[in-house]
């Protein structure tokens, strides 16, 4: 996550803190088999024609072999020890990002049943950073793990200095802080770097809804995280020729006594479309209800956090039927068209885990890590992993999401839009279910003043950088 990645928080419990981690295409807690159309076949036993296990379009990187040797910390003749986890123990939002740990735990079992990686079984240390304990978790991982895989810690920047110092590579589920997002020895299946922004959702919205291009405004908030995200969106809008109306509406992060005046202001200002970087929470719901009350019905195009069970459950009266969300992940409703999505849901549901878009993100991270680990063969070292991961420049997690460039830490240039009607989401653009709208021109360079860190010529954060970090040797 990171002005970007993001996870999904329950009912806005951490909205001000996590909003920046949930801005762009990965968020959402929309999950559970009930939301998925029926589909034939057993994803847990699917295999390619030659008998090899698959994950969507990806041939499984797991299987037997004769790899031997204690080649690096956490690697023995028989095992590879990795760390993973989330913030599930945070007392103010119990279960926060639980889907990430559930996904990696499931994938470890799936992989070990096939023989592990080149015959070595995977041993997982599951960590709970509980929001404020990321640094403590990182210090533990530094002492025992080969790598971190598929984890997501909201306070990862607090742990970054320890990770860099102990030269612990990571294939993160998501990153939040700018130093973590741009750190050395860091790879993500779905990167959200601070220096590039994927404007595909904005462009597709403008193409699909003319009013979004001509009469749009942003729902602002005095939350620092939402303000930062909104300013980035405003800058991106202007770069693609969209000028927000700037009606002067700003919500109070602590709540407002009434949202009707804000709704009336949007209406009198001539707003016909709205965008927000604010996560769904009671304040946002109250504003949407007030818009309906004053007979204002703008087209709503929101961040991926609005693809959410909480939003679907709130929309019993249909006041959110105009909500659209831009995603770079396949929605669960597309599972009958996208085998990788069904595979993920079947595997995690069979283990009794929580499913969500962040879970798919962690799954993709695990598959990316396992693919590189397989290619390293018996000589499994951190150096080899950094080398192999840096060479992977097109990745979809077997079809879980749009193409990304993990090796170069570059985001996707794609999106699709889903629309909420009642409690049901459906892809509405592009029209062909399962397809994304992609264009290299969607990637915009961001203003360095918004980065939150200084980058060197290799686009690596310099805050904690040391001279002995593991660099790609290609």
Are residues 182 and 225 both part of a single domain?
A: no
Residues 308 and 380 in one domain: no
What CATH number corresponds to the domain at position 110? 3.40.50.2300
Question: In whole angstroms, what is the distance from residue 383 CA to residue 424 CA?
Answer: 46
Residue 357 lies inside a defined structural domain of this protein: yes
pLDDT at res. 220: 92
Q: Report yes or no on 151 lying in a domain.
A: yes
- Rounded to two decimals, the pTM is 0.90
Backbone angles phi, psi at 326, to 5 degrees: -90, 125
Is 140 domain-assigned? Answer: yes
Asked whether the beta carbons of 162 and 142 are under 8 A apart, the reply is: yes
Indicate whether 1 belongs to any domain: no
Is 466 inside any structural domain? no
Do 34 and 108 reside in the same domain of the chain?
yes
φ, ψ dihedrals at 416, nearest 5°: -140, 155
* Rounded CA separation 469/463 (Å): 13
Give the total number of structural domains in the chain.
2
317 in Cβ contact with 323 (< 8 Å): no
How many C-beta atoms lie closer than 10 Å to residue 149's C-beta? 29
343 and 248 housed in the same domain: no
Q: Are residues 281 and 425 part of one domain?
A: yes
The answer to whether 12 and 280 are in contact (CB under 8 A) is: yes
Question: Do 342 and 259 fall into the same domain?
Answer: no
Three-state secondary structure string covering the chain = CCCCCCCCCHHHCCHHHHHHHHCCCCCCCCCCHHHCCCCCCCCCCCECCCCCEEECCEECCCCCCCCCCCCCCCECCCEEEEEEEECCCCCCCCCCCHHHHHHHHHHHHHHHHCCCECCEEEEEEEEECCCCCHHHHHHHHHHHCCEEECCCCCCHHHHHHHHHHCCCCEEECCCCCHHHHCCCCEEECCCCCCCEEECHHHHHHHHHCHHHHHCEEECEECCHHHHHHHHHHHHHHHHCCCCCCCCCCEECCCCCCCCHHHHHHHHHCCCCEEECCCCCCHHHHHHHHHHHHCCCCCEEEECHHHCCHHHHHHHHHCCCCCEEEEECECCHHHCCCCHHHHHHHHHHHHCCCCCCHHHHHHHHHHHHHHHHHHHHCCCCCHHHHHHHHHCCCCECCCCCECCEECCCCECCCEEEEEEEECCEEEEEECCCCCCCEECHHHEEECCHHHCCCCECCCCCECCCCCCCCCCCCC
pLDDT computed for residue 224 by the predictor:
84
* pLDDT in 10s for each residue of the chain, 474 residues: 333 333 323 223 333 344 434 333 344 566 433 233 333 333 333 555 456 899 999 999 999 999 999 999 999 999 999 999 999 999 988 888 999 999 999 999 999 999 999 999 999 999 999 999 999 999 999 999 999 999 999 999 999 999 999 999 999 999 999 999 999 999 999 999 999 999 999 999 999 999 999 999 999 999 887 888 888 899 999 999 999 999 999 999 889 999 999 999 999 999 999 999 888 989 999 999 999 999 999 999 999 999 999 999 999 999 999 999 999 999 999 999 999 999 999 999 999 999 999 999 999 999 999 999 999 999 999 999 999 999 999 999 999 999 999 999 999 999 999 999 999 999 999 999 999 999 999 999 999 998 999 999 999 999 999 999 999 997
Beta bridge partners of 419: 324, 426
For 337, counting Cβ atoms within 10 Å of its Cβ (0-12 exposed, 13-18 middle, 19+ buried), the class is middle
* Secondary structure of 324-374 in HEC code, one letter for each residue: EEEECECCHHHCCCCHHHHHHHHHHHHCCCCCCHHHHHHHHHHHHHHHHHH
> 307, 287 in Cβ contact below 8 A?
no
Contact 462, 454 (CB under 8 A): yes
Judgement on whether residues 157 and 107 belong to the same structural domain of the protein: yes
What is the C-alpha to C-alpha distance for residues 347 and 343, in angstroms, rounded to an integer?
Answer: 6
Task: Note whether residue 472 is domain-resident.
Answer: no
- Co-location of 48 and 182 in the same domain: yes
Say whether both 176 and 29 belong to one domain. Answer: yes
The parent domain of residue 289 ranges over 197-332+412-448
Residues facing residue 121 across a β-bridge: 79
Q: What token pair was written down for 23?
A: 């801005």
432 and 295 together in one domain: yes
Residues 191 and 75 in one domain: yes
User: Between helices 282-293 and 260-268, what is the axis angle to 10°?
Assistant: 60
Same domain for 403 and 263, yes or no, is no
In this structure, is residue 459 part of a structural domain?
no
Q: Tell me whether residue 461 is in a domain.
A: no
């Amino acid at each position: 996550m990171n002005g970007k990645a993001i996870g999904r928080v329950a009912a806005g419990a951490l909205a001000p803190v996590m909003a920046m981690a949930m801005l762009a295409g990965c968020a959402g807690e929309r999950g559970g088999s009930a939301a998925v159309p029926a589909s034939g076949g057993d994803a847990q036993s699917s295999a390619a024609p030659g008998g090899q296990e698959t994950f969507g379009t990806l041939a499984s990187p797991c299987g037997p072999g004769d790899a031997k040797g204690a080649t690096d910390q956490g690697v023995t003749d028989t095992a590879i020890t990795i760390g993973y986890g989330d913030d599930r123990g945070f007392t103010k939002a119990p279960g926060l990002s639980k889907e990430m740990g559930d996904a990696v735990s499931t994938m470890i079992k799936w992989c070990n049943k096939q023989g592990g990686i080149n015959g070595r079984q995977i041993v997982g240390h599951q960590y709970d950073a509980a929001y404020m304990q990321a640094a403590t978790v990182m210090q533990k991982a530094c002492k025992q793990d080969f790598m971190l895989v598929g984890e997501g810690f909201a306070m990862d920047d607090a742990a970054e200095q320890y990770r860099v110092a102990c030269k612990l590579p990571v294939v993160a589920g998501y990153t939040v802080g700018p130093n973590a997002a741009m750190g050395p020895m860091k790879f993500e299946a779905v990167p959200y770097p601070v220096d590039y922004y994927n404007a595909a959702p904005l462009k597709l919205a403008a193409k699909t809804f003319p009013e979004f291009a001509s009469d749009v405004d942003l729902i602002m908030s005095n939350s620092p995280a939402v303000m930062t995200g909104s300013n980035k969106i405003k800058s991106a809008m202007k770069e693609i020729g969209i000028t927000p109306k700037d009606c002067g509406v700003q919500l109070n992060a602590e709540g407002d006594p009434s949202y009707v005046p804000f709704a009336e202001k949007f209406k009198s200002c001539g707003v016909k479309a709205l965008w927000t970087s604010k996560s769904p929470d009671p304040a946002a719901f109250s504003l949407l209800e007030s818009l309906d009350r004053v007979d204002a019905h703008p087209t709503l195009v929101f961040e991926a956090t609005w693809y959410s069970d909480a939003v679907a459950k709130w929309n019993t009266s249909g006041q959110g039927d105009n909500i659209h969300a831009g995603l770079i992940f396949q929605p669960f409703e597309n599972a009958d068209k996208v085998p990788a999505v069904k595979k993920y849901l079947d595997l995690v549901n069979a283990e009794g885990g929580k499913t969500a878009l962040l879970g798919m993100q962690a799954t993709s991270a695990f598959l990316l890590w396992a693919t590189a680990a397989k290619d390293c063969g018996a000589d499994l070292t951190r150096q080899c992993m950094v080398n192999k991961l840096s060479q992977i420049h097109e990745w979809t997690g077997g079809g879980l999401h749009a193409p990304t460039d993990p090796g170069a830490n570059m985001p996707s240039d794609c999106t699709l839009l889903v629309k909420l009607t009642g409690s049901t989401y459906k892809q509405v653009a592009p029209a062909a279910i399962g397809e994304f709208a992609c264009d290299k021109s969607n990637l915009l360079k961001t203003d360095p003043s918004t980065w939150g860190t200084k980058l060197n010529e290799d686009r690596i954060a310099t805050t904690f950088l040391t001279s002995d970090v593991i660099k790609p040797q290609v």
